[in-house]
Structure 1
């Protein structure tokens, strides 16, 4: 068996310090802080203000659909452009800072919107600019990090993503409770602009010219299918990510309903914040050790551990109706999320079909992230409504059992793949 082209291409790079790995990922903190508060708190409240309570769910769903569609379409295109955007500042940093600034401008303009259509138009513009910056930052690790450090670099990516999301949601919640939900627009917009500037200054520019001539972008897109056929492992990793995040997002979207309707706790909002805090701590606690293990023993080992933790947590939540059991389940899901973010993202980078076009292929892989959100929201909502008919509340049990099956499936999808870490050590 041979080593995957990308893993082999990235194998000879010099080791980077942990501080440098943080610098390479710093933009994710600002971006996830913005999106955490924006999507979880600000947008639902703002949409209700503009359209009223009767159709708020539908109108919020339209915004979600627009965002997911933009992300799936824009990121591969932006990634392909980023792969070719050679300049004296490198090929990722100019697009990153430009996308961050434009994102901040569109977010700040949302404070001036007086109609739903104006908000929708600005969100579309914000999604386009944000996904250009996302495509650029996703290409940084394949450009600069060696194969033997990729899982640790990916673990920091996961920590900053989850941490930023929770921090952003918390800040937005404070503004909401204070009667000033629009205040988060300024905090989020300025934060993402500052994070983009920090990333531009702290990320090394890397190569300023291609080592070999690159085909035109249109030609590159035309070759995608042939590359994927030659390296089908990449498709398997994307499918595994889609299934895994389809389970994780189902848990996220049903948490408040579980607390309020099944457990009937007092202050479900407060308990939701506590459990999200536990999720964050568990994610942080597991991510870096998982990265170390992934770089030493292989990515699949880490993914299998992650899926096992997720399966155990899901089964516990299904059969034990108690707040302590739900807390344990959330911790296990946090362990799963931290380990998966380290092992699976590194595995995805290892399996990029064309190592010279990392931005394009990681942009295509966004189908799993954006699609997982949509899939998790859709299937869990349908199952919950059907299972809870008549007040029986069986829907929660079914949702968590299906989540466990999703975790098992996410692991089994990867079973045929070779692990490049072990193969590189044998060379």
Structure 2
């Protein structure tokens, strides 16, 4: 396994100064491909199995999705930042992050097999909850790698790589789920992403440097370290807190689409399982092409003009795209809306990560990035908990099809609120940071 070059980073919180080759930035981001493909395929698979395999009573599909999401929420909130904080202090021959990544990925594969083979809502919910536990054990520590290893002048590019891998992971997961729907079997898609995650995990563990040394525990117990995650000192980081709130709402806008897309296509447009799978593939292709085209330009623009202006543009694109899907009279119009939504997601994933990396304390990156991804995971859960019962209620009151459309209108509102909550965030001056890093390197 590789190690960090001497002087490239330290446990004291200084930003690394040695530039990394592009291949190293790709490897650092690679595990995101596996993680996000799991999120995508599991969410889509649970939707499909509940809707088309009749695991629940008709008219309760949305509430059933909310039930599964609520169970996952507890582990998303509690586990990820706590394990991320613990990893800041972990001293092992593999560095402070990798043991958690390996353990989490191995258990992910086991629980994914359970979801694929489950035959009831209760069994699916149980394995999905266990998956939330294991995947968050891996995510919290993994997110510390960009602050650990990437110098300031490469943060924009590294964040673009993270965004690219997240987009590709979503595309891969949703595409596998859509293809599986056309064939009437989503279990194979779940097994495929289990393999993909294990491969990307090995790419990180075997090829990415270990990172800086762990922080000293100074005699404290691991229980004390875990409790530190939730210390009130974080309340002093006001820009970080506002950015978390903004990220939550913006991601909820995306979750309002992705977590109910098969209910939307089936109820609002009257499609069968196979037709919904084909229609979603077209929407996914449109969103993917635009998203991939937007990632690198968005990162470069954010380096030049600032992160916040680019995120404002992304929220506008997202709101317009989701609104168009909500009101679409045909699948073709919904596909155009999906393309605008894709531009929003590509922009946001590239730039929000960079802004988060800019403002967090370096030495505790595992803790802060773990907390930030609690928001990422919680956005899906909260959107499902709100949207699921809303769909069932509106469908029951105004007719099948009205519910998913109304839920998408809520998604537009989430984008608007996310933009408003971004305003108090104080963005660091990257020009002065670059000068400082040049002086340190000299």
Q: TM-score, normalised by structure 1?
A: 0.85
Where structure 1 has 5 or more consecutive residues not aligned to the other structure, the ranges are: 1-5
Instruction: Report 1:181-200 matches (<5 A).
Output: 181-200=186-205
Instruction: Report 1:185-264 matches (<5 A).
Output: 185-210=190-215, 216-220=221-225, 221-222=227-228, 224-262=230-268
User: Are 1:70 and 2:75 an aligned pair?
Assistant: yes
**8 Å CA contact 2:247, 2:376 repeated in 1:** yes
1:17: Cα distance to partner?
Answer: 2.5
Q: Distance in 1 between matches of 2:48 and 2:269?
A: 24
Partner of 1:88 in structure 2?
93
Bigger shift: residues 149-158 or 265-274: 265-274
Instruction: Report 1:109-128 matches (<5 A).
Output: 109=114, 119-128=124-133
Q: Distance in 1 between matches of 2:405 and 2:50?
A: 33
Structure 1 residues 251 and 34: alpha-carbon distance in aligned structure 2, compared to 1, 3 A threshold = closer
1:45 to 46, 49, 52: 49
**8 Å CA contact 2:63, 2:392 repeated in 1:** no
Q: Distance in 1 between matches of 2:128 and 2:328?
A: 41
2:287 to 250, 255, 279: 279
Structure 1 residues 258 and 115: alpha-carbon distance in aligned structure 2, compared to 1, 3 A threshold = closer
Instruction: Report 1:9-408 matches (<5 A).
Output: 9=13, 11=15, 13-41=17-45, 44-45=48-49, 51=55, 53=57, 60-109=65-114, 119-178=124-183, 180-210=185-215, 216-220=221-225, 221-222=227-228, 224-262=230-268, 267-317=275-325, 321-352=329-360, 354-381=361-388, 384=391, 389-391=397-399, 399-408=407-416
**8 Å CA contact 1:44, 1:60 repeated in 2:** no
Q: Distance in 1 between matches of 2:332 and 2:197?
A: 36
Structure 1 residues 76 and 175: alpha-carbon distance in aligned structure 2, compared to 1, 3 A threshold = same
1:209: Cα distance to partner?
Answer: 4.3
1:86: Cα distance to partner?
Answer: 1.9
Structure 1 residues 324 and 175: alpha-carbon distance in aligned structure 2, compared to 1, 3 A threshold = closer
**8 Å CA contact 1:307, 1:411 repeated in 2:** yes
Structure 1 residues 179 and 96: alpha-carbon distance in aligned structure 2, compared to 1, 3 A threshold = same
Structure 1 residues 269 and 104: alpha-carbon distance in aligned structure 2, compared to 1, 3 A threshold = closer
Q: TM-score, normalised by structure 2?
A: 0.82
1:398: Cα distance to partner?
Answer: 5.2
1:177: Cα distance to partner?
Answer: 4.2
Structure 1 residues 334 and 180: alpha-carbon distance in aligned structure 2, compared to 1, 3 A threshold = closer
Structure 1 residues 170 and 397: alpha-carbon distance in aligned structure 2, compared to 1, 3 A threshold = closer
1:82: Cα distance to partner?
Answer: 1.3
**CA deviation map 1:174-205 (0-9, x unaligned):** 44544554333432322222221121012111
Q: Distance in 2 between matches of 1:175 and 1:268?
A: 11
Structure 1 residues 108 and 317: alpha-carbon distance in aligned structure 2, compared to 1, 3 A threshold = closer
Where structure 2 has 5 or more consecutive residues not aligned to the other structure, the ranges are: 1-9, 437-442
1:133: Cα distance to partner?
Answer: 0.9
Bigger shift: residues 291-300 or 69-78: 291-300
Counting matched residue pairs gives 420
1:161: Cα distance to partner?
Answer: 1.8
Q: Distance in 1 between matches of 2:412 and 2:119?
A: 44
Partner of 2:433 in structure 1?
424
Q: Distance in 1 between matches of 2:25 and 2:249?
A: 28
Structure 1 residues 198 and 150: alpha-carbon distance in aligned structure 2, compared to 1, 3 A threshold = same
Partner of 1:3 in structure 2?
none
Root mean square deviation of aligned Cα: 3.4
Structure 1 residues 218 and 402: alpha-carbon distance in aligned structure 2, compared to 1, 3 A threshold = same
